[in-house]
A and B are shown apart, each in its own frame.
Chain A
Amino acid sequence: EIVLTQSPATLSLSPGERATLSCWASQSVGTSLAWYQQKPGQAPRLLIYDASNRATGIPARFSGSGSGTDFSLTISSLEPEDFAVYFCQQRSKWPPEITFGQGTRLEIK
């Protein structure tokens, strides 16, 4: 099983600041990595697919980068609605499996 490790577990920042969240894979996943945002009581929402492509309707302040085992999600200037939990997720071809990271909680400082 490919294990995804996210860092930090909690990130405390203020609106307007830049946020950088990290995700490491236990083995290479190429660019088969996605990022999601989840708010309390809601389902996750797809932000980034294929490591660096923004999903439909996602603001330009969200960007993803990386390949292989090291990935990051950057929010260039935090808006109040961005404070939530963020998950990374990989989909491997063989063996076919999907795994999620444990999440980073982005909280208001």
Chain B
Amino acid sequence: QVQLQESGPGLVKPSETLSLTCTVSGGSVSSGSHYWSWIRQTPGKGLEWIGYIYYTGSSTYNPSLKSRVAISVDTSNNQFSLRVRSVTAADTGVYFCARDAGATSPLNYNGVDVWGQGTTVTVSS
């Protein structure tokens, strides 16, 4: 079965860049049926979708974060990554990588069916 594992620093200084990587095992990021997502859970906003990327490299972001966020995919290493620039304390939280199962028709939605365990990121000097 597909498993996802986040990795990256747990502590980032204010104004710096947060960088996380998600390694996919038991499946392929090149699957044409899925979108590879980053979702965070913060005390201020609860669960918040950050964005997702398709294996082709096409990405979509939360409009509220779009100016600071970039998601990339590395098909050769079966990974996808997140970068958040100019972080503040409001970016502190648990970051999940996840697999969005997308839709099989224009009107349906199959949900986020696989999640990583989450990694805690604290923004502090």
Contact = CB atoms under 8 A, between A and B. Distances in A.
Interface of A: 1, 30-34, 36, 42-46, 48-50, 55-56, 87, 89-91, 93, 95-100, 102-103
A46 B113 contact: yes
A95 B101 CA distance: 18
A50 B109 contact: yes
Given A32-B103, A43-B118, A55 B47 contact: no
A30 B62 CA distance: 21
Contacts, number: 73
B55 to A, nearest CB: 17
B43 interface: no
B60 to A, nearest CB: 5
Contact of B109 (A1, A31, A97, A99): A31
Contact of A97 (B37, B49, B107, B113): B49
A100 B112 CA distance: 12
Interface string B37-55: 1000000001111001000
